[in-house]
């Protein structure tokens, strides 16, 4: 293994090298069986209670239903204007409904709004059948996307969240899914902020009552069954910082709303998120031997964010580790080191540093000179 050379540097230039840390109190007690709060940009965990315990997700399932449909639209398999013929199975669904009629033709967009705003079981089944031919095959697609996202403790049996012993998820997996929806489909995500939807002569309100209470909240989805309790996946954005909360297994609608609001306020009050490095920005330069270019610029492939307690950002330190010897050729995107960002000696962010450009092998003369220089070192 190549020896790594650490380079220590202060992340920010500051007249005060170490800012005084501010105490962060424990997260509020909200009466949930499980919860998780993360920052949507950094992905960092801000508060948690049994986030990896599998539970029935109820209608939170529909977040994955819409995620699969959004992918089908993005890939050109279907369009928002496609008309779906409503099957008897979809029409007969019980629980929360959009109240679509058997045999009618309904646009994909209207069905999506029926799922997102009205939590329609009938609309969910209709979309599943249209995308995959049957709800059973659609559930397989849901599980394939879950695996691709890293939702390791989730299994879907249907598109609605209808109770089934083999249908389960966790607060962590649902946070992963919510983050993917927000980041991958920002245009469609905006529909989660719609407060009511009229279909036919029936107007139904969005069950996420945080939309009326907190203007910073713009999603995502409620869920409830006897086994699951009252659940809510919510997201809010204030001053460029976005938080995702997953609250599961509360005793009432009021409890899930109050609990989610308390978590959101806590997150914004005591934490802040900053952009550390932009994708493609040069963070460091690596000496590359036997190459056409003596140095290769290094950076990250995606914007790198960090979330820390408020008032501690100026205390961050970063260490860059790179191999003592790097030889050409180097391909763009090739990992050539890593960066670790720490707060009070605790690693907060760790990310690979990758070559931003190709650096091919140099001429015969360059390779010969560098071979001799390496031998002399």
pLDDT of residue 374: 87
59 is catalytic: yes
pLDDT of residue 23: 78
- Reading the block at residue 298, the tokens are 């290094």
3 state SS of 257? helix
Q: Which CATH class is domain 46-224?
A: alpha beta
242 closest CA partner among 44, 46, 27, 41: 41
| Active-site entry in 34, 59, 96, 124 | 59
pLDDT of residue 21: 56
| Active-site entry in 42, 96, 119, 315 | 119
Q: Are 143 and 135 in contact (CB under 8 A)?
A: no
Taking the chain (377 residues) in runs of 10, the rounded mean pLDDT of each run is 45 34 84 97 97 97 98 98 97 94 96 96 98 98 98 98 97 98 97 95 94 96 96 97 98 97 97 96 94 95 95 92 93 95 91 96 91 86
Could you give the C-alpha distances from 208 to 30, 253, 350, in angstroms and in order? 17, 9, 35
pLDDT of residue 10: 46
62 is catalytic: yes
Q: What's the whole-model pTM score?
A: 0.89
Tokens 């790594």 belong to 4
Domain residue limits, the chain: 4-17+276-376, 46-224
**Architecture of the structural domain at 4-17+276-376:** Sandwich (2.60)
For residue 48, which phi and psi values (nearest 5 degrees)? -160, 150
35 closest CA partner among 140, 172, 156, 144: 172
Q: Report the interhelical angle of 135-149 vs 121-132 (nearest 10°).
A: 90
Say which DSSP state 25 is in.
P
For residue 249, which phi and psi values (nearest 5 degrees)? 70, 35
């Amino acid at each position: 293994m190549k020896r790594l050379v650490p380079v220590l540097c202060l992340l920010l230039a500051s007249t005060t090298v170490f800012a005084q840390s501010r105490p962060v109190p424990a997260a509020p007690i909200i009466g949930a069986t499980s919860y998780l709060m993360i920052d949507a940009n950094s992905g960092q965990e801000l508060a948690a209670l049994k986030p990896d315990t599998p539970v029935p997700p109820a209608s939170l399932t529909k977040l994955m239903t819409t995620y699969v449909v959004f992918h089908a639209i993005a890939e050109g398999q279907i369009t928002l204007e496609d008309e779906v013929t409503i099957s008897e199975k979809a029409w007969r669904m019980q629980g929360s409904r959009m109240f679509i009629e058997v045999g009618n033709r309904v646009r994909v967009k209207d069905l999506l709004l029926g799922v997102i705003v009205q939590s329609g079981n009938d609309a969910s089944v209709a979309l599943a059948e249209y995308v995959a031919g049957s709800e059973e095959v659609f559930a397989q697609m849901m599980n394939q996307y879950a695996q691709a996202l890293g939702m390791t403790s989730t299994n879907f049996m249907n598109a609605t969240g209808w109770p089934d012993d083999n249908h389960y998820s966790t607060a962590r997996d649902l946070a992963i899914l919510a983050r993917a929806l927000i980041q991958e489909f920002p245009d469609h995500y905006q529909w989660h902020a719609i407060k009511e939807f009229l279909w036919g002569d029936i107007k139904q309100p969005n069950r996420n009552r945080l939309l009326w209470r907190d203007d910073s909240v713009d999603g995502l989805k409620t869920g409830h069954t006897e086994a699951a309790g009252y659940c809510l996946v919510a997201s809010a954005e204030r001053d460029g910082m976005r938080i995702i909360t997953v609250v599961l297994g509360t005793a009432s609608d009021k409890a899930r709303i109050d609990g989610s609001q308390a978590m959101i306020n806590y997150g914004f009050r005591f934490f802040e998120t900053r952009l550390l490095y932009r994708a493609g920005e040069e963070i460091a330069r690596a000496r590359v031997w036997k190459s056409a270019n003596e140095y290769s610029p290094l950076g990250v492939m995606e914007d790198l964010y960090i979330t820390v307690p408020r008032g501690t950002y100026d205390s961050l330190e970063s260490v860059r580790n790179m191999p003592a010897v790097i030889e050409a050729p180097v391909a763009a995107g090739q990992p050539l080191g890593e960066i670790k960002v720490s707060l009070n000696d605790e690693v907060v962010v760790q990310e690979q540093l990758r070559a931003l450009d190709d650096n091919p092998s140099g001429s015969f003369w360059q390779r010969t000179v560098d071979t001799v220089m390496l031998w002399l070192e």
